[in-house]
Amino acid sequence: MSNYKKIFLTLLCCAILSSCAVLSNGPETPAYAATPEDENAAWQREEAAGRTIRIGYDGGICLATTALAHIKGFFAEEGLKTELVRTPQGEQMRDAVGSGKIDTAGYFIAAWAVPVVNGINMQFVAGANTGCQSLYVLAGSPYKTTADLKGKTIAVPNGIGNSSHNISLRFLGHDGLDPGDFNFSHVETGAVTLAMQRGEIDAATMSDQFAKKFVQDGTLRVIRSITYDDDFSHEACCVFAINGDFIRANPITAKKLTRAFKKAGKWYQHNKEEAVRILLDQGWTSGDYDYCLTLAGELNFDISWKDTEATLRSVVKDYKTFGLISAGKTDDEIMKIIWNPSVDDDDPVILRYDPQKSPQK
């Protein structure tokens, strides 16, 4: 064989391998066409392109990007037809996404990370917001730090192994304390304050949206927080998740959903007064306008891809330490299970988006 033929065949093999690399980047990473026109043509062949996509929302201020992406037309701008479905938070929402009853929703990393690692059929695609839980004590109590609660009882309103419990563990872990030196008790959110006043519990990790009014009236005080403390305030508290089968069958639609979430988050971050008014006027959330606006003002809804990934990696490490996630898999293997973003901070559509402008439907 001549040298020219050898060179030609070598170059041909390299070209084929390069093409395969572009078209397939692993089972969880979708391939995208080279041009917007080709991508749109490929999207039209996806099952989800021809139907209404079901978006779950629980009515909270922190995850209102979910509703705003629908109401303000960010999904429509991507060519998507969507339905906003009021869905109870927590396990019901998790199971609805995992089973495909709804296609996507957002919730606490602290609540969903472990179930996803253990097989719930969904993946995280983008960060939703910073915040939004804190560790509260009675304002007149002697407790100033987490160390002061050693041997005491911390209430976790949504139960052992759920977000309030897992966030509590991270507070203690970051403060160099052994969670085994603390007691945890499942107390419903609405009963927490009275339980503290009766001496049945000493502290509680719970939603700022519920507890802030008790801080404002002088009943409660914050001693640790993922909203306000420097070691947590930059982290993603909540993420958007999409059903795993949906992502595999509709990779371009998943990309469009993720991009719409990101643009809606930018809009929410820069237009909080209008956003809160819309949510209240349309009945998607409830409460006093100023109270809701104060809550929204404390959160960042434009959280970056980089900070979200860093948060997930930190959570994975912490949860391995606490025994919530098995040490049998590497951090990278776990990240591949839970984290599947189709756009990042350098996505040109997101970079060009002006949050002062409404979407072009």
- Starting at the earlier edge strand, list the strands of the sheet with 82-86: 82-86, 53-57, 104-108, 238-243, 122-129
Are 107 and 66 contained in the same domain?
yes
Are 340 and 242 contained in the same domain?
yes
Are 309 and 347 contained in the same domain?
yes
What integer pLDDT is reported at residue 89 of this predicted model?
84
In a domain, 359, yes or no: no
Q: CA–CA separation, 245 vs 121, rounded Å? A: 7
* Mean pLDDT within 238-264: 97
* Mean pLDDT within 277-297: 96
Q: How far apart are the first and last CA of the chain?
A: 59
Are 144 and 291 contained in the same domain?
no
Q: CA–CA separation, 291 vs 296, rounded Å? A: 9
Does residue 11 surpass a pLDDT of 50?
Answer: no
In a domain, 8, yes or no: no
Are 212 and 282 contained in the same domain?
no
* Mean pLDDT within 181-198: 97
- CATH number (domain holding residue 198): 3.40.190.10
Are 340 and 245 contained in the same domain?
yes
Across the chain, mean pLDDT equals 91
What integer pLDDT is reported at residue 361 of this predicted model?
56
Task: Categorize the per-residue pLDDT at 356 as very low, low, confident or very high, splitting at 50, 70 and 90.
Answer: confident
> What residue ranges in 50-179 does DSSP mark as E strands?
53-57, 82-86, 104-108, 122-129, 133-138, 153-155
* Domain end among 225, 250, 281: 225
Task: Categorize the per-residue pLDDT at 315 as very low, low, confident or very high, splitting at 50, 70 and 90.
Answer: very high
- Read off the tokens for 184: 């945890």
In a domain, 37, yes or no: no
Per-residue pLDDT of 122-158, as tens digits, reads 999 999 999 999 999 999 999 999 999 999 999 999 9
* Domain end among 225, 253, 269: 225
* Mean pLDDT within 192-213: 97
Cα–Cα–Cα angle for 112, 114, 117, rounded to 5 degrees: 105
Q: Picking from 33-42, 82-91, 204-213, 295-304, which range would have the lowest pLDDT averaged per residue? A: 33-42
Domain boundaries, position 110: 46-128+235-352
With a threshold of 0.95, does the pTM exceed it?
A: no
What integer pLDDT is reported at residue 8 of this predicted model?
39
What integer pLDDT is reported at residue 85 of this predicted model?
96
Higher local confidence (pLDDT), 353 or 360: 353
- Whether 240 and 312 have beta carbons less than 8 Å apart is answered as no
Q: CA–CA separation, 153 vs 203, rounded Å? A: 7
Going by C-alpha positions, the residue among 249, 302, 257, 251 that lies closest to residue 275 is 302
* Mean pLDDT within 260-286: 97
Per-residue pLDDT of 154-183, as tens digits, reads 999 999 999 999 999 999 999 999 999 999
Are 158 and 137 contained in the same domain?
yes
What integer pLDDT is reported at residue 223 of this predicted model?
98
Higher local confidence (pLDDT), 17 or 319: 319
Q: What is the share, in percent, of the chain residues with pLDDT greater than 70?
A: 90
Does residue 360 surpass a pLDDT of 80?
Answer: no
- Whether 99 and 121 have beta carbons less than 8 Å apart is answered as yes
- Whether 64 and 259 have beta carbons less than 8 Å apart is answered as no
> What residue ranges in the chain does DSSP mark as E strands?
53-57, 82-86, 104-108, 122-129, 133-138, 153-155, 183-185, 203-207, 220-225, 238-243
What integer pLDDT is reported at residue 27 of this predicted model?
37
Cis bond leading into 14, ω under 30°? no
- What total of structural domains would you count in the chain? 2
Task: Categorize the per-residue pLDDT at 231 as very low, low, confident or very high, splitting at 50, 70 and 90.
Answer: very high
31 in helix, strand or coil? coil
What integer pLDDT is reported at residue 33 of this predicted model?
54
Q: What is the DSSP string of 153-174?
A: EEE-TT-TTSHHHHHHHHHHHH
In a domain, 5, yes or no: no
Does residue 61 surpass a pLDDT of 80?
Answer: yes
Q: Picking from 86-90, 106-110, 124-128, 295-299, which range would have the lowest pLDDT averaged per residue? A: 86-90
What integer pLDDT is reported at residue 248 of this predicted model?
97
* Domain end among 170, 195, 225: 225
What one-character DSSP code corresponds to residue 220? E
